[in-house]
Amino acid sequence: MAETTTYDVVVVGAGHAGCEAALAAARMGVRTALVTLSVDKIALMPCNPAVGGVGKGQLTREIDALGGEQGRNTDRAFVQIKMLNTSKGPAVRALRAQADKRLYEDWMKVTLFSTPGLEVIQGEVASLDVSRETVRGLLLADGRRVRARSVVLAAGTFLRGRVVVGQRTYAAGRVGELPATLLSASLERYGVELGRFQSATPPRVDGRTIDRAGMILQPGDAGSLGFSHWERPRPRTQLPCYLTHTTARVHDVVAEYLDLSPIKTGSVSGRGPRYCPSIDRKVINFPDRDRHPIFVEPEGARTHEMYLQGLTTSLPVFVQEKIIQATPGLERARLVRPGYAVEYDYIVPQGLSSALGVRVVDGLYSAGQVNGTSGYEEAAAQGLMAGCNAALYALGQEPLTLRRDQAYIGVLIDDLVTKGVDEPYRMFTSRAEHRLLLRHDNAAERLSEIGHSLGLISDEQLGRVHAESALLERAADLLDSTRLRGGERTDELLESLGTSRLTESQTAAQVLKRPQVSFRDLVQMIEGPAAEWLAGLPGDVVDRLAVRAQYDGYIQRQLAEIGRLKATETTSIPDDIDYRALEGITVEAKDKLSRMRPMTLGQASRIAGVSPADVSVLMLYIHRIRASQTSRTEGGAAAGGVRSGRPS
């Protein structure tokens, strides 16, 4: 079977990153292959049966706005959906869905198998085919050769994977599945630096053996919520989650057997995620807390298996069973799948460019958990970007990068390639300094044009985005131009809402700023055809109007700040700069800058160990160099990106 097939882009791994990468490339019109260890294990959710949440939901929404698949796929497969943080500001509002795992897989596989220009192939990669530091394709372990102009690695946790429980371990990428044993060596041969991480998953129990009476019901939201901008989800009956807590007794059990935890015994050598810690780690790190929340989540509509979020562990199975029995509501819960840890190689992300390209090999890209992240959303976001860029490379075009003020995806990738990772990286809203601008409600406005220019968003879809924005502008203008005066009806309504009467006339927009006044309330205060028109606006537009009204001031300030920073952000650093010759910056900064060789001041400022003071020195130095260059040329204006202070 020593045959050779040729494609433009090949993606390795059919997890969340791989699926997005393959779909993006194929939809951009390049011949794409997706190589997977098993064509029957596509888009698995090996851990939490959920998509979205705070920070992550924004990623999924952005993926959808750009023309990726995760949002739409989740909308088909969810058994529960809800908007989080509705009582808090719009910057932290996010969708979260519980997914039926099997349906999620089914839908993704159908989509992959019906996308023109895409072929899904079963096989294991034995090595990369690289010559003159450029990727030529892959060699499969069974002898087949695959030629390609660019390759996206999305191997997840499979690189030299080992599952670990207590002191026991066996080679696997996931429980019951063989790992990828050959690719790591090939990567190392070409100078790709690898690290070792571990990630764990909690036990699953039989839902019929749970005592729900003592737990708090966590239902989904009514209405027709969905991630996708383009399709309405079909109605369905939502399944609830249940909330319980660990107790001191549970912690005692953990503490009693902590010596058997792989964290303690060292049988796990990789670093684990701090923000999705195992119950072992929680007990170690938070000895004063006497309860941790445990969410009991359904794994699907037609299974009784329930996922125990909060009880992630790789303690021995008999200890897991004791922990479960000691937890309120789970006293009689039957263990169906034990929790376990998986240890795996990851690609050190500082070796990647902002386009997620592997620096030491041209045409090679990398996305997903294999880059040291955790989570399906983080993986899918990288997959989409790496897939686009692999396709752009194959087409001979410039890569796409997203800025930190443009998208959470931009924050994610910039964090990875600039700061690196000590533990599996998870997205939070706090990581995004511009989160007020990067909201669930404005993802399409920010990103759909980009998706359209790539060919992932159709004219019709973009048309809809523009139409909604136009509607929003009209509505905003109307609110700005409609004046409200104090009067019996208006004042009565205002007082009944708990806010003050109108002492002078104000615009409707100003009144909407009051947190007690909802859009519907406002419409009641307006008279004439304007009110009717406003009342007929679609819900999405109403949400965005309300956000705009309430946060406009903050948003404008943030935009101005971004404008000021942009100048520094994009100020480029000369390629030949010798950091060691700089005076006034710390030794550590010199060292880090020399190693990382950032291309802009913005990137330099985000390197751990480089302080704002160091950046100032660097900035002055660059200005001096530029100034001396221009004084050497005749009559030239100042060149380079000097700060302009203009808001964008």
Cα(245)–Cα(329) distance, integer angstroms: 9
Composition of the chain by helix, strand, coil, percent to 5: 40, 20, 40
Shortest Å, Cβ 332 to another protein: 10
The reply to whether 342 sits near another protein by the rule CB under 8 A is no
Q: What number of other Cβ atoms are within 10 A of residue 130's Cβ?
A: 22
Cβ nearer to another protein, comparing 321 with 423: 321
Query: Per CB under 8 A, which region of 12-20, 295-303, 341-349, 468-476 contacts another protein?
Result: 295-303
Instruction: For the sheet with 162-165, list strands across it.
Output: 168-171, 162-165, 340-347, 194-201
Which of 53, 61, 46, 49 minimizes the C-alpha distance to 13? 46
From candidates 88, 232, 236, 624, binder to another protein by CB under 8 A = 236
Contacts of another protein in 91-150 (CB under 8 A): 100, 102-103, 106-107, 109-110, 113-116, 118-124, 126, 140-144
Crossing angle of the two packed helices 459-481 and 539-570, in degrees rounded to 10:
100
Find the helix or strand (DSSP H, E) in which 113 lies: helix 101-113
Cβ nearer to another protein, comparing 132 with 302: 302
Shortest Å, Cβ 170 to another protein: 5
From candidates 147, 196, 245, 304, binder to another protein by CB under 8 A = 304
Q: Is the dihedral of CA 43, 48, 49, 53 positive or negative?
A: negative
Shortest Å, Cβ 114 to another protein: 6
Q: How many residues does the chain have?
A: 648
Name the 3-class secondary structure at 635.
Answer: coil
Query: Per CB under 8 A, which region of 77-85, 261-269, 484-492, 635-643 contacts another protein?
Result: 77-85
From candidates 258, 317, 478, 617, binder to another protein by CB under 8 A = 317
Binding letters toward another protein, positions 559-598, x by CB under 8 A: ----------------------------------------
The reply to whether 178 sits near another protein by the rule CB under 8 A is yes
Q: What is the dihedral of CA 557, 559, 565, 567, to 10 degrees?
A: -130
Which of 622, 228, 236, 260 minimizes the C-alpha distance to 444? 228
Rg (CA), the chain: 27
Cβ nearer to another protein, comparing 143 with 486: 143
The reply to whether 286 sits near another protein by the rule CB under 8 A is no
The reply to whether 554 sits near another protein by the rule CB under 8 A is no
Cβ nearer to another protein, comparing 232 with 274: 232
Residue type, 465: V
Query: Per CB under 8 A, which region of 36-44, 361-369, 426-434, 621-629 contacts another protein?
Result: 36-44
From candidates 131, 213, 217, 235, binder to another protein by CB under 8 A = 235
Binding letters toward another protein, positions 147-176, x by CB under 8 A: ------------------xxxx-x-x-xxx
Q: What is the dihedral of CA 362, 368, 372, 376, to 10 degrees?
A: 170
- Token readout for 549 is 């009204």
Shortest Å, Cβ 438 to another protein: 29
Shortest Å, Cβ 104 to another protein: 9
Cβ nearer to another protein, comparing 10 with 619: 10
Shortest Å, Cβ 340 to another protein: 7
Q: How many CA atoms lie within 13 A of 548 on its CB side?
A: 19
Question: Are 605 and 594 spatial neighbours (Cβ–Cβ below 8 Å)?
Answer: no
Shortest Å, Cβ 195 to another protein: 26
The reply to whether 255 sits near another protein by the rule CB under 8 A is no
Cα(519)–Cα(508) distance, integer angstroms: 10
Cα(353)–Cα(600) distance, integer angstroms: 13
The reply to whether 338 sits near another protein by the rule CB under 8 A is yes
From candidates 52, 310, 316, 387, binder to another protein by CB under 8 A = 316
Phi and psi angles of residue 31, each rounded to the nearest 5 degrees, phi first: -70, 120
The reply to whether 303 sits near another protein by the rule CB under 8 A is yes
The reply to whether 3 sits near another protein by the rule CB under 8 A is yes
Find the helix or strand (DSSP H, E) in which 279 lies: helix 279-285
The reply to whether 318 sits near another protein by the rule CB under 8 A is yes
The reply to whether 529 sits near another protein by the rule CB under 8 A is no
The reply to whether 78 sits near another protein by the rule CB under 8 A is yes
Query: Per CB under 8 A, which region of 189-197, 228-236, 423-431, 611-619 contacts another protein?
Result: 228-236
Phi and psi angles of residue 308, each rounded to the nearest 5 degrees, phi first: -105, 85
Question: Are 138 and 129 spatial neighbours (Cβ–Cβ below 8 Å)?
Answer: yes
Which residue carries 């003020």 as its tokens? 405
Which residue carries 């997890």 as its tokens? 15
Cβ nearer to another protein, comparing 101 with 435: 101
Cα(197)–Cα(187) distance, integer angstroms: 17
Distance from chain centroid for Cα 358: 20
Query: Per CB under 8 A, which region of 147-155, 331-339, 464-472, 604-612 contacts another protein?
Result: 331-339
Q: What number of other Cβ atoms are within 10 A of residue 178's Cβ?
A: 14
Shortest Å, Cβ 216 to another protein: 21
From candidates 6, 38, 453, 458, binder to another protein by CB under 8 A = 38
Q: What is the 3-state secondary structure (H, E, C) of 455-466?
A: CCCCHHHHHHHH
Cβ nearer to another protein, comparing 139 with 352: 139
- Integer distance in angstroms from the first to the last C-alpha of the chain? 57
Using DSSP bridges, classify how beta strands 9-12 and 150-153 pair: parallel, antiparallel or unpaired.
Answer: parallel
Cβ nearer to another protein, comparing 8 with 100: 100
- Token readout for 517 is 């006044």
The residue count for binding another protein (CB under 8 A) is 69
Given the rule CB under 8 A, which residues bind another protein?
Answer: 1-3, 37-41, 44, 76-79, 100, 102-103, 106-107, 109-110, 113-116, 118-124, 126, 140-144, 165-168, 170, 172, 174-178, 206, 234-237, 239, 301-305, 316-318, 321, 334-338, 340
